[in-house]
């Protein structure tokens, strides 16, 4: 499990609270979401973090998370040819790619909106 402490968080940056979207007060954008699957919980956590990410470091962490989801959905599609979830995962895989490019373009909220459809 990946977990990031307060000390680590302080090292990276101080929070820029006024840019936050209501309802995301407890989300720490300097925390890397552990990506072990592409469940709704994982996606929800990534979306919440995307909504409050503003700085260079935050966007790097979001890109890393989306890379990880893209990697495991890619492996799923390569290895689970007969799965009934295949079409949904295929859509998610493509959506994560787009979300990744939006983050690279410094548009994390737009990336969050895209992913929202999979919750």
Partner 1 sequence: MLSKEENERLTQTNAGTPAGEYFRRFWVPALLPAEVPTPDCSPVRVRLLGENLIAFRDTNGHVGLIDEFCPHRRASLFWGRNEECGLRCVYHGWKFDVKGTCVDMPNEPQEYGFENKVRIAGYPTCEYGGLVWAYMGPPQHQPELPKLEWARVPESHRYISKRLQETNYLQAIEGGIDSSHSNYLHATVDAFRLTDSYVEKVKNSNNLRAKYHLLDKAPWFTVKKTDYGLVIGVRRNAEEDQYYWRLTQFLLPSHTIIPYEKGLAIHGHCWVPRDDQTCWTWTISWNPDAPLSEEEWESIRKETFVHARVDPVTFRPIRNKDNQYLLDREQQRGSTMTGIHGFAAQDQALQESMGPIVDRTRERLGTSDTAIIAMRRLLLQEIRELQEAREPFAAQHGDVYWVRSASLLLKRDVDIGEGARDLIKAEV
Residue ranges in contact with partner 1 by CB under 8 A: 2-5, 7-8, 10-13, 30, 32, 34-35, 55-57, 59-61, 63-65, 67-68, 70-71, 74-75, 97, 100-101, 104
The answer to whether 99 and 114 have CB atoms below 8 angstroms apart is: yes
Minimal distance, residue 117 CB to partner 1, in Å: 21
Cα distance between residue 66 and residue 72, in whole Å: 10
Instruction: Kindly tell me which of 48 and 63 has the beta carbon lying closer to partner 1.
Output: 63
Planar angle of CA 55, 61, 67, nearest 5 degrees: 135
Q: How far apart are the C-alpha atoms of 70 and 59, rounded to whole Å? A: 16
Q: Which is nearer to partner 1, 67 or 118 (CB)?
A: 67
Give me the least distance between CB of 84 and partner 1, in Å please.
24
Kindly tell me which of 60 and 114 has the beta carbon lying closer to partner 1.
Answer: 60
Residue of 79, 28, 29 whose CA lies nearest to 59 = 29
DSSP 22: T
Q: How far is the CB of 82 from partner 1 (least distance, A)?
A: 22
């Amino acid at each position: 499990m990946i977990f990031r402490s307060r000390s680590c968080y302080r090292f990276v940056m101080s929070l820029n609270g006024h840019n936050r979207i209501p309802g995301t007060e407890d989300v720490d954008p300097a925390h890397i979401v552990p990506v072990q699957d592409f469940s709704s919980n994982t996606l929800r956590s990534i979306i919440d973090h995307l909504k409050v990410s503003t700085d260079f470091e935050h966007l790097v962490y979001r890109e890393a998370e989306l890379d990880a989801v893209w990697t495991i959905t890619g492996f799923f599609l390569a290895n689970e040819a007969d799965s009934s979830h295949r079409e949904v995962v295929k859509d998610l895989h493509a959506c994560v790619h787009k979300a990744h490019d939006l983050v690279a373009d410094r548009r994390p909220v737009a990336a969050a909106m895209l992913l929202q459809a999979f919750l």
